[in-house]
């Protein structure tokens, strides 16, 4: 039951770049390009800006499309093993650069 992707690749600079897969679009990207969502040992779910928080993590592109898809398709709840709180979804939207307010998406 270990589905962690441990893909690594060497950049032209010769440095190791840790790679992770977006749970929404399944694209493998450098960890630094992705947003980490973590479920803490206490069972709280939220965005982990440091990428170092203890707990079970899942990764999503910093794109609104992927955040939306990860929430709608239940990809994150599946990856984290429990339902995603509304607060966490809102945190993700903010981290993805979504404009604040309920009117987002017009246009």
Site for Zn ion, rule CB under 5 A: 22, 24-25, 61, 66
Measured from the CB atom, the residue of 15 and 26 that comes closer to Zn ion is 26
Q: State which residue, 22 or 80, has the beta carbon closest to Zn ion.
A: 22
Residue 60 beta carbon to Zn ion: minimum distance, rounded to whole angstroms: 6
**45 or 70, CB closer to Zn ion?**
70
Q: What is the DSSP string of the chain?
A: -------EEE-TTS-EEEEEEBTTT--EEEGGGEEEEEE-TTS-EEE-TTS--SSEEEEEESSHHHHHHHHHTTHHHHHHTSPPPHHHHHHHHHHTTPPSSTTTT--
Token pair of 5 as six digits: 């992707």
| Nearest to Zn ion of 41, 73 (CB atom) | 73
C-beta of 90: minimal distance to Zn ion in Å? Answer: 18
Shortest distance, position 25 Cβ to Zn ion, whole Å: 3
Please, what is the minimum distance in Å from the beta carbon of residue 66 to Zn ion? 3
């Amino acid at each position: 039951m270990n589905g962690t992707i441990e893909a690594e690749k060497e950049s032209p600079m010769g440095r190791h770049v840790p790679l992770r897969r977006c749970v929404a679009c399944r694209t493998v990207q450098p960890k630094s390009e992705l947003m980490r969502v973590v479920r803490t040992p206490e069972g709280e779910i939220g965005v982990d800006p440091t990428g170092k928080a203890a707990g079970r993590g899942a990764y999503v592109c910093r794109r609104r499309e992927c955040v939306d898809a990860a929430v709608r398709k239940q990809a994150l709840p599946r990856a984290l093993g429990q339902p995603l709180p509304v607060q966490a979804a809102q945190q993700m939207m903010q981290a993805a650069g979504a404009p604040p307010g309920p009117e987002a998406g017009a246009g």
